[in-house]
């Protein structure tokens, strides 16, 4: 279930940097109190129900500290787990278990919180044609894991960064002198650079939707902070000539009615920027 942007190289680099941040010149609490040859078992315990994410990280993290550690996953990413479930067992050097515990928990708790929220919002739009999107509103240096968690929860990734899709937002449009100028300038730029990137344009009202259509070559039109009535009108006006995306302050209370306007996508920044981590703990056996 790894998307293409989750590579072994990037995961290893992330873990190395995280250990440098956390361990520094040594986990002195553990080094001082635990003999180097001590080996024990431990397990991960769910203290809250939800959708699990980040199971693949356990061997990557612990094998950097103890290459011989035995790791037994008991569930898979994307599975619903219940409070009280044991989801993973491990056996190896106690020093490695203690030094890697917090990094694994920090990652898995946040990823599982995102996956759980994504899965829940998906249930609210079930039966419509809308698909749930994330945004770039991610934690710096954690984007790979956070967007991965959205996929695990059943959502869809929007562009990964500023380089893999063009999104002409309101500020781009205003600074460029209007939608038509922004789109045509972008098309000329992409042609000159030999880039084949999709173009999305943010619109704030039906007049701007018409401008985006008239500009031509727009792959997706974002309907930002529009009323449901205006979104329905926009979907009818666009008539599948571009994909449509609803955005702006969408919550679990409003997402169903937004989906029923007929939009193709609904982007929810809260999937990653204001999520509650799922409670998981590591226990010694």
Q: Which residues are catalytic?
A: 102, 137, 169, 202, 224
CB 126 within 8 A of CB 84: no
How many helices (DSSP H) and strands (DSSP E) are in the chain?
11, 12
According to DSSP, residue 204 is labeled: S
136: tokens are 């770039």
209: tokens are 């939707």
Instruction: Identify the bridge partners of residue 247 per DSSP, sorted by sequence position.
Output: 224
Q: Helix, strand, or coil here: 95?
A: helix
Positive or negative: CA dihedral 100, 103, 104, 106: positive
Quickly list H helices, the chain. Answer: 8-23, 28-33, 57-65, 94-124, 143-152, 170-176, 179-193, 206-215, 228-238, 255-259, 270-273
- Strand 220-224 to 199-203 pairing: parallel
Separation CA 109–CA 11 (nearest Å): 17
CB 271 within 8 A of CB 150: yes
Query: Other CB atoms closer than 10 Å to residue 264's CB: what's the count?
Result: 18
C-alpha pair distances (Å), 185 with each of 163, 170, 173, 198, 216: 17, 15, 11, 14, 12
């Amino acid at each position: 279930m790894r998307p293409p942007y989750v590579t072994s190289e990037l995961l290893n680099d992330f873990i190395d940097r995280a250990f440098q941040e956390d361990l520094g010149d040594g986990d002195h609490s553990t080094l001082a109190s635990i003999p180097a040859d001590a080996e024990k078992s431990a397990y991960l315990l769910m203290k809250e129900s939800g959708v699990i994410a980040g199971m693949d990280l356990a061997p990557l993290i612990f094998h950097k500290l103890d290459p011989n550690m035995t790791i037994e996953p008991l569930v898979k990413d994307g599975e619903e787990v219940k409070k009280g479930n044991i989801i993973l067992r491990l056996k190896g050097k106690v020093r490695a278990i203690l030094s890697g515990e917090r990094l694994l928990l920090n990652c898995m708790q946040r990823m599982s919180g995102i996956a759980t929220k994504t899965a829940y919002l998906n249930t609210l739009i079930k039966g419509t044609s809308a698909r749930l999107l994330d945004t770039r509103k991610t934690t710096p240096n954690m984007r790979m894991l956070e967007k991965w968690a959205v996929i695990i929860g059943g959502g869809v990734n929007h562009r990964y960064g500023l380089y893999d899709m063009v999104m002409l937002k309101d500020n781009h449009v205003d600074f460029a002198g209007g939608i038509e100028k922004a789109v045509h300038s972008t098309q000329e730029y992409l042609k000159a650079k030999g880039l084949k990137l999709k173009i999305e344009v943010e619109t704030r009202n039906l007049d701007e939707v018409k401008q985006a259509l008239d500009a031509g070559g727009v792959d997706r039109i974002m309907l930002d902070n529009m009323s449901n009535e205006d979104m329905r009108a926009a979907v009818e006006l666009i008539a599948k000539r571009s994909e449509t995306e609803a955005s702006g302050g969408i919550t679990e209370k409003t997402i169903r009615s937004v989906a029923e306007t007929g939009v193709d996508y609904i982007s929810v920044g809260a999937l990653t920027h204001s999520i509650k981590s799922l409670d998981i703990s590591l226990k010694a056996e």
